[in-house]
Amino acid sequence: MSQIGNAIARQEQTPAALIEQYKAELATVAASHVKVDTFARLAVGVLRQNPRLMEAAQSNPGSLMSALMTAARLGLEPGTEQFYLRPIKRKGRPEVQGIVGYQGIVELIYNAGAASSVVVEVVRQNDLFLWTPGALDEQHPPRWPGAMKQPFHKADWFADRGPLVGAYAYAAMQGGAISKVVVLNASHIARAKAKSDGADGEYSPWRTDEEAMWLKTAARRLGKWVPTSAEKRSAVIERLDAPTLTAAPLGEVDPDEDDDPIDGELVD
């Protein structure tokens, strides 16, 4: 356990008081754009709105501060879809787990400055989804008739779109090129879920916010093909395979590509 963790373990303070006490440490690790006072107020507000999360923070305040340190280092807002704060149980004891959400991954991509826009969407059974991999950019003609630069996705947003069947993600780069298009079907998502600790647990986001986890799986795969901010890169977001400003070749994601575990709930 770190020195901060040991110090926290010896104290009996409310989570709000601990956050206030360790604002200086948060400021030390925080990304340059983070306003620590605002960050701390947001974290306290999230705890007060969720009794189970407050209970977990009181049971293991060190886990709360560890999660907040990670969020601050990445420059993400805690308790939002950028960075979830979840109550979990480890060996029967409640604690707080920090989970980077799909919006957090998208934020890291934007912060790198190479992408002008990022698209991450789910596809449902009644949607129209077309994707035939095409050219890298306007200077490279399609490899065959009907080839596409990016997917075509049409949905009736005000009707029952049916169950989830897939997800996709891509980025439009500053120079106009389109990044590799990540396309995942239900089998790809199922493999990612299977590698998530406690995916079927009561507080797991796979149960409480399944669509967001499908989006996160696609966004996380996209993070292998486009740059994320070096300042905010950490062990939470894996190192880019090819961190360049040029678009990677288009094509469907390799279904045999290894998945890293997707964050979830830890259970006994």
**Structure token digits, residue 183:** 């396309």
Beta carbons within 8 Å of 91's beta carbon, 6+ residues apart: 268
SS3 130: strand
Q: In the prediction, which pLDDT does 239 show?
A: 33
In angstroms, rounded to a whole number, what is the distance separating the alpha carbons of residues 64 and 19?
A: 9
User: What do you get for the CA distance between the two ends of the chain, in Å?
Assistant: 21
User: pLDDT of 6-42, one tens digit each?
Assistant: 445 445 578 889 999 999 999 999 998 999 999 999 9
Tens digits of residue pLDDT in 89-115 = 888 899 999 989 899 999 999 988 889
With a pLDDT cut of 90, the percent of the chain lying above it is 54
Closest listed residue to residue 191, CA positions, set 258, 266, 139: 258
Element spanning 258, H or E: none
E strands in the chain: 83-90, 93-100, 115-124, 128-130, 152-154, 164-173, 182-185
Determine how β-strand 182-185 pairs with β-strand 164-173. antiparallel
Question: Which string of b and e fits 132-163 if b means at least 16 CB within 10 Å?
Answer: ebbbbeeeeeeeeeeebbbbeeebeeeeebee
CB count, 10 Å around CB of 251?
13
Q: Cβ of 190: how many Cβ atoms within 10 Å? A: 10
- Among positive and negative, which fits the CA dihedral 191, 193, 198, 202? negative
Q: What is the pLDDT of residues 177-186, one digit of tens each?
A: 899 999 999 9
pLDDT digits (tens, 9 = 90+) for 220-239: 999 889 887 744 444 334 43
Q: Is pLDDT larger for residue 199 or for residue 105?
A: 105
Q: Which residues of 45-54 are buried (b: 16+ CB within 10 A; e: fewer)?
A: ebbeebeebb
- pTM to 2 decimal places: 0.72
Residue written as token pair 């947001």: 42
Confidence of residue 190 (pLDDT cuts 50, 70, 90): very high
Question: Which residues fall within 8 angstroms of residue 61, CB to CB, at 6 or more apart?
Answer: 8, 9, 11, 13, 15, 18
* Contact (Cβ atoms closer than 8 angstroms) between residue 86 and residue 205: yes
Provide the mean pLDDT of the chain.
79
SS3 (DSSP) at 50: coil
Query: What confidence score (pLDDT) does residue 10 get?
Result: 45
pLDDT, mean of residues 64-71: 95
> In the prediction, which pLDDT does 134 show?
67
Structure tokens at 41: 């107020």
Confidence of residue 245 (pLDDT cuts 50, 70, 90): very low
Q: What is the pLDDT of residues 132-175, one digit of tens each?
A: 886 544 555 555 556 788 999 999 999 999 999 999 999 999 88
Assess whether pLDDT exceeds 90 at residue 242: no
